[in-house]
């Protein structure tokens, strides 16, 4: 796999094109967040400009702004509670169940709400994001209420994680679109991601974790040799 920036960008674009090709006229579409999703939004913008009729429900303020700029009509859950297809990126994918780690790019909660309201969740990655066990490389981002975050962080550490609050380059806490904090929790390779997701949810102060369990319909994997499609085993 090419590790150069332009090589990775080309793979993201290839995955994005394959995902957006699945979108049909009249669909309500969940619009993901992150750099791969941004490529897909650009491709979707081209199709909308060419006459495709869709309604988008964005998963972050950033994606909403990009979609709006490209003339993609947007709505929210007041208008549609059922999404036909959502596209998004991921930080790690475990082949087999196609469980995911998401949220390293900052969004997570809205992504999970959109994913859970979608008939199909299509994930776009390059081959470098496939791991035998979630947590092999990435931390699990956990969105928490700012009040008492230190207590929440301690509880997360008791589960065996090294916990770091997400900060920007200047050292300030990063706030999510919902005004919350993100704690990056390094567990190392996770033997049972579904069980861990449940345990995380039980901690007071935790809003959601970046473990996406049983939500993925299809993963589009872009590699230098071409596109592969994975379905949950
Ligand atoms: C958004 O914060 C995340 O969940 C992204 O979907 C994920 O981090 C993948 O992002 P990239 O496509 O930028 O790697």
State which of 59, 102, 219 you would mutate to test the pocket of ligand 1, scoring each by most atoms of that ligand within 8 A of its C-beta: 102
d(CA 182, CA 176): 7
pLDDT band at 93 (very low <50, low <70, confident <90, very high): very high
Summary mean pLDDT of the chain: 97
Count Cβ atoms below 10 Å from residue 107 Cβ, excluding itself.
30
State CA 113 to chain mean position distance.
11
Report the half-sphere exposure of 7 (CA within 13 A, side-chain side): 11
- pLDDT tens for each residue of 103-162: 999 999 999 999 999 999 999 999 999 999 999 999 999 999 999 999 999 999 999 999
Please give the share of the chain, as a percent, with pLDDT higher than 70.
99
Residues lining ligand 1, judged by CB closer than 6 Å? Answer: 32-36, 88-91, 102-108, 111
Which of 3, 60, 104 gets mutated to test ligand 1 (max ligand atoms within 8 A of its CB)?
104
Q: How far apart are CA 130 and CA 98, in angstroms?
A: 9
Report, in this order, helix, strand and coil percent for the chain, each rounded to 5.
30, 30, 40
Helix axes 5-20, 35-49, angle to 10 degrees: 50
Lowest mean pLDDT among 2-6, 39-43, 107-111: 2-6
pTM of this prediction? 0.96
Q: Which stretch of 4-8, 126-130, 187-191 has the lowest confidence by average pLDDT? A: 4-8
Q: Whose CA is nearest to atom 12 of ligand 1?
A: 36
* pLDDT at residue 4, as a whole number: 87
Ligand 1 centroid from CA 32, angstroms: 8
How many A from CA of 162 to the centre of ligand 1? Answer: 21
For 143, residues 6+ apart whose C-beta sits below 8 A from its C-beta are 103, 108, 109, 176, 178, 180, 181, 182, 206, 207, 208, 209, 210
The pLDDT of residue 232 is above 90: yes
Q: Report whether 88 contacts 121 (CB < 8 A).
A: yes
How far, in Å, from the CA of 153 to the mean position of ligand 1? 23
Contact 107, 177 (CB under 8 A): yes
For the segment 171-180, what is each residue's pLDDT rounded down to a tens digit?
999 999 999 9
Q: How far apart are CA 104 and CA 139, in angstroms?
A: 8
Q: By alpha-carbon position, which residue is closest to atom 10 of ligand 1?
A: 34
For ligand 1, the distance from its centroid to the CA atom of residue 111, given in whole angstroms, is 10
Q: Taking 60 as the threshold, does the pLDDT of residue 228 lie above it? A: yes
């Amino acid at each position: 796999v090419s590790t150069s920036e332009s090589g990775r960008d080309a793979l993201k674009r290839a995955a994005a094109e394959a995902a957006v090709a699945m979108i049909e006229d009249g669909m309500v579409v969940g619009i993901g967040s992150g750099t791969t999703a941004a490529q897909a939004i650009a491709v979707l913008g081209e199709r909308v400009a060419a006459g495709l009729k869709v309604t988008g429900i964005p998963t972050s303020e950033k994606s909403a702004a990009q979609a709006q700029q490209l003339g993609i009509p947007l709505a929210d859950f007041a208008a549609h509670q059922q999404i036909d297809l959502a596209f998004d990126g991921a930080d790690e994918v475990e082949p087999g169940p196609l469980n995911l780690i998401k949220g390293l790019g900052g969004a997570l909660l809205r992504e999970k709400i959109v994913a859970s309201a979608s008939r199909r969740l299509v994930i776009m990655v390059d081959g470098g994001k496939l791991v035998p066990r979630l947590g092999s490389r990435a931390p699990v981002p956990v969105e928490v209420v700012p009040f008492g975050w230190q207590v929440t962080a301690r509880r997360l550490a008791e589960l065996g994680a090294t916990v770091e609050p997400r900060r920007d380059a200047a050292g300030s806490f990063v706030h999510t679109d919902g005004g919350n904090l993100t704690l990056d929790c390094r567990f190392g390779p996770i033997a049972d991601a579904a069980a861990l997701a449940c345990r995380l949810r039980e901690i007071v102060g935790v809003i959601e974790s970046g473990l996406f369990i049983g939500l993925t319909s299809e993963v589009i994997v872009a590699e230098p040799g071409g596109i592969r499609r994975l379905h949950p085993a």
